[in-house]
Amino acid sequence: MNPSELATAVVGQARDGRFSEIATRFSPELRAAVSGAALEAAWAAQIGEHGPVTALGEPVAEPAGPGLTRVQAPVVCAHGGFLVVLSVDSAGTVAGLRLALAAEWTKPSYVDETVFVERNIVLSAEPHSVPGTLTVPRGEGPWPGVVLLSGGGIFDRDETAGPNKPLKDLAWGLASRGVAVLRFDKVTHAHPELATAPGFTMSAEYVPHAAAAVRLLQAQDGVDATRVFVAGHSMGGKVAPLVAIAEPSVAGLVLLAADAEPMHEAAVRVVQHLAAVDAKVEVLVEPITRQAAAVADPALSPSTPGENLLFGYPGSYWLELRDYDPVATAAALEKPMFLLQGGRDYQVTVEDDLSRWRNGLTERHGVDVRIYPEDDHLFFPGTGPSTPDSYRQPQHVDAAVVADVADWLARQR
């Protein structure tokens, strides 16, 4: 049975309620992280939102590294649909499985597809490989290059959120303006079981593949190897200084809504903010506050299980985050930086995060800062308070953000 046939079989079993049978197809690592009951609950949530299944679409398979294939199987429902995304190994075992929104994305008005070419690549960083996409302007160059890093969570290379793909907006927008771009699926997207694995850390989640991406982009014809930058969004911005340490050839950093407030403290602030604007969120305040306290507990150890901590990350993940100061790490780098921040962002804010960057980098030359008053966390422009529901509406990254990043990169010589 090839990966596409396997995906069709798994989706058919889910439609028929045979979740325990699906679990028998899992690798031992995935079986330890995801039970048949958990899959059943996730499936029921999708059916509750989109209605009963009316059809199963044709699976689409692509290489995801040596011996691994990723398959996206569409599920059509009465009121919409979603995707079942599987990672299948060479033995025909399901090594990863998740349910995702079936996003409908249209290109932004500032994109000109005639001026760049795009191809899929695979990034190898032991022990895991991930798929990605290389987007390069047509012509001889030499072009500046940038590696894109998505925010915290199990994101694909486009940072897909509902119908929106902010990193694809950015990649295509920058390529339209003469910048070569490489973006890739996070290792937790290609290998979801890693997110809760003992010993896992933020550095392991980002740095090996980001450094490999820098080197791969530098090796491309038409790319100026001395002008390859790292641009990180949200947690991707927080970790970007560590990438520059791991790969010293990085020419500079672009930090888009990079968080600097300790993450467990920010989680409490954000849930309290959301509860104040939506009473339904109130039920989350107590558990998130309790889990944040567990993260802050001096007794936290690498072996503390993730189910007792925020977002299911293990103790090892939080110990690194607690000890990591992204601002001080960035300040020690002799590299140019461009910090961008949305004024309507309630997740990473001017007051709680950008202020820390500004204070810590005040003695540094070559640091540019720009605030976009109308933009939210994804740099989508709008009016009024930003809410999670706004991310469900089709939008695009602010054209001014794309232009400013492209112009800043062009000036770094």
Predicted local confidence at residue 160, as pLDDT: 87
Q: Provide the terminal-to-terminal Cα distance of the chain, rounded to the nearest Å.
A: 53
Helix spans in 125-222 (H) = 166-175, 187-190, 202-218
What total number of domains does the chain contain? 2
pLDDT confidence tier of residue 54, bands split at 50, 70 and 90: confident
- On whether residue 400 sits in a domain, the answer given is yes
Instruction: Indicate if the pLDDT at residue 65 is higher than 70.
Output: no
Residue 165 lies in a domain: yes
User: Which residue has better confidence, 282 or 326?
Assistant: 326
124: in domain: yes
The answer to whether residues 33 and 164 belong to one domain is no
CATH of residue 248:
3.40.50.1820
**How many whole angstroms separate alpha carbon 235 and alpha carbon 368?**
19
Rounded distance between C-alpha atoms, residue 240 and residue 348, angstroms: 16
- Beta strands at 143-149 and 128-137: parallel, antiparallel or unpaired: unpaired
Whether 51 and 22 share a structural domain:
yes
Are 79 and 95 spatial neighbours (Cβ–Cβ below 8 Å)? no
Which residue is listed with tokens 């990605």?
132
In a domain, 106, yes or no: no
- Do 150 and 259 fall into the same domain? yes
Same domain, 122 and 44: no
Specify if 34 maps to a domain.
Answer: yes
Are 92 and 165 members of one domain? no
Clarify whether residues 97 and 190 are in a common domain: no
pLDDT at residue number 294: 96
- pLDDT band per the 50, 70, 90 thresholds, residue 51: confident
Average pLDDT over residues 110-137: 94
What percent of the chain has a predicted confidence (pLDDT) above 70? 99
Burial class (CB in 10 A: 0-12, 13-18, 19+), 186: buried
Closest Cα partner for 11 from 88, 65, 116? 88
Residue 95, domain CATH = 3.10.450.590
* Residues 94 and 197 grouped into a single domain: no
Range of the domain at 232: 113-263+314-411
pLDDT confidence tier of residue 103, bands split at 50, 70 and 90: low
Q: Is the CB of residue 374 less than 8 Å from the CB of residue 382?
A: yes
Q: Strand 143-149 and strand 80-89: pairing? A: unpaired
As a residue count, the chain comes to: 413
Whether residue 71 is found in the same domain as residue 163: no
**Model pLDDT for residues 145-181, shown as the tens digit of each residue:** 999 999 998 899 999 887 899 999 999 999 999 999 9
Any domain includes 391 = yes
Of 80, 101, 122, the one marking the end of a domain is 101
Answer yes or no: are the C-beta atoms of 191 and 198 closer than 8 Å: no
Q: What is the pLDDT of residues 241-260, one digit of tens each?
A: 999 999 999 999 999 999 99
Same domain, 132 and 44: no
Domain boundary among 75, 101, 127: 101
**Residue 301 belongs to some domain of the structure:** no
Return the active site residues: 234, 345, 377
280 part of a folded domain: no
| Mean pLDDT across the chain | 92
Task: Indicate whether 39 and 121 sit together in one domain.
Answer: no
Same-domain check for residues 369 and 232: yes
pTM exceeds 0.75, yes or no? yes
pLDDT band for position 307 (50/70/90)? confident
Residue with structure tokens 């491309």?
A: 220
* Residue written as token pair 């048949």: 36
How far does CA 348 lie from the centroid of its chain?
A: 15
Integer Cα distance of 310 and 182 in angstroms: 30
pLDDT digits (tens, 9 = 90+) for 205-240: 999 999 999 999 999 999 999 999 999 999 999 999
Question: At which of 81, 101, 121 does a domain end?
Answer: 101
Say if strands 143-149 and 223-233 run parallel, antiparallel, or are unpaired. Answer: parallel
